[in-house]
Amino acid sequence: MSVPAPPSAGRGAELGVRLRDRDLSAAPATLNLVESRTPADREQTAALLRELSPAKLGGEAQGHVIGVTGPPGAGKSTLLSALVREWRTRGKSVAVLAVDPSSKRSGGSLLGDRARIDFDPGDRELFIRSTAAGERLGGLAPATRAAAQALAPAFDIVVIETVGVGQSETDVADVADTVAVIVQPGSGDALQFLKSGIMETPDVLVVTKADLGKIAISARRDLSAALRSLGARDTKVVMVSSVPPPSGIADLADAFEDHRAALDLPGRRLAARRAAALADFAVEHGERGVRGLGGRRAAVKLLAEQDPALEVPALVAVLEAKVAA
């Protein structure tokens, strides 16, 4: 049992302590907080993440952060629905952070994916939250990074679902332990993106609609060949079908576990925190701010010198102090 936060600690710290205690019911309020842009709430978010730093946790958060991305129509939501069922059957608690693109025109967004994930309203170990991507097309909102970091100590699995086969995977890679790209057979896009280097090599490539038989198998073959030619031998290709009877879902869950087991988790998490800190700093202070640090490379170097146990807001504070100095 961790020590309860002192009563004066404020909302952020209280939520942090609850999450450290794996109180899953803290998730909705946590998201409301980390998504908020008011200065007071930003401070509370920093306080929340402080409670969840590796130092406070006594190590890395136990949850497995998985990024799932792919083009619209690839069957992500249906797949996710089946995956969530599989994880729940295995007794794992799951948080899904679904990131939808926003309308550039109105600033509003239709957060539709939830409609396609079956959920039992009485299930307290499953949390689904949809978020608009914000102003950057296909990008990951700073709030989503913070949310994933906040929920990882509490949930066994934290999924970040994003749309796209372009730049957004790199964003997801900044925060996820394991990145999966979903492609559907017959669409050559993923193959082209892989070959041209537009798409970073994912940890797991998922070919959906395996019920399409021949097309799916040839898609798998082409992708495997492309991965070999890129020297990405560690990337697993998994075929799944969400059409009843679903197939490949357990294999996929296993592939995620295998990847995580083979991973240098502290190393990846440390890199993720440092990348996130720089990204958050850049969102806040812009390119001018980055130049103030002596450029991106100097910033990376500065971050690399910091205590590995520092959480993201603390790292951002280091960068800000440097600019001010």
Partner 1 sequence: MSETPAHRLPERDRPWMMRTYAGHSTAKASNELYRGNLAKGQTGLSIAFDLPTQTGYDPDHELARGEVGKVGVPIPHKGEMHTLLDGIPLDDMNTSMTINATAAFLLALYIGTAEENGVDRAKLQGTTQNDIIKEFLARGTYAFPPGPSMRLIADMVAFTVTEVPKWNPINICSYHLQEAGATPVQEIAYAMSNAIAVLDAARERVPADQMGKVFSRISFFVNAGVRFVEEHAKLRAMSILWEELGRERYGVEDPKHLRFRYGVQVNSLGLTEAQPENNVQRIVLEALAVTLGRNARARAVQLPAWNEALGLPRPWDQQWSLRIQQVLAFETDLLEYPDIFEGSVVMDGLVGELLAGARAEMAVVAEHGGAVEAVPYMKAALVDSHRERWRRIESGEQVVVGMNKFVETSESPLVDEDGGIMTVDAAVEAHQREAVEAWRAERDQAAVDAALAKLREVAADDSQNIMPASIEAARAGVTVGEWSQALRDVFGEYRGPTGVGEATAADHGADLEALREEVGRVGEALGRTVKILVGKPGLDGHSNGAEQIAVRARDVGMDVVYEGIRLTPQQIARSALDEGVHVIGLSILSGSHKELIPTVIDELRAAGVDVPVVVGGIIPEADVAPLKAAGVAGVYTPKDFDMNRIMSDIVALVAAKGGVSTPA
Binding site for partner 1 (CB under 8 A): 27-28, 31-32, 35-38, 41, 103, 105-112, 114-116, 118-119, 121-122, 127-132, 243-244
Min separation Cβ 295 and partner 1, Å: 32
- Give the side-chain half-sphere CA count within 13 A for 14: 10
Our CB check for partner 1 shows the closer of 110 and 198 to be 110
Our CB check for partner 1 shows the closer of 2 and 103 to be 103
Reported as type and span, the H/E element at residue 169 is helix 168-173
Q: Which of 236, 239, 215 is nearest to 227 (CA)?
A: 236
Our CB check for partner 1 shows the closer of 58 and 122 to be 122
Min separation Cβ 294 and partner 1, Å: 33
Our CB check for partner 1 shows the closer of 22 and 116 to be 116
Who's near 56: CB < 8 A, 6+ residues apart? 16, 20, 50
Who's near 195: CB < 8 A, 6+ residues apart? 226, 229, 230
Min separation Cβ 188 and partner 1, Å: 18
Distance CA(250)–CA(83), nearest Å, equals 8
Distance CA(303)–CA(318), nearest Å, equals 8
Min separation Cβ 284 and partner 1, Å: 16
Our CB check for partner 1 shows the closer of 124 and 221 to be 124
Min separation Cβ 30 and partner 1, Å: 10
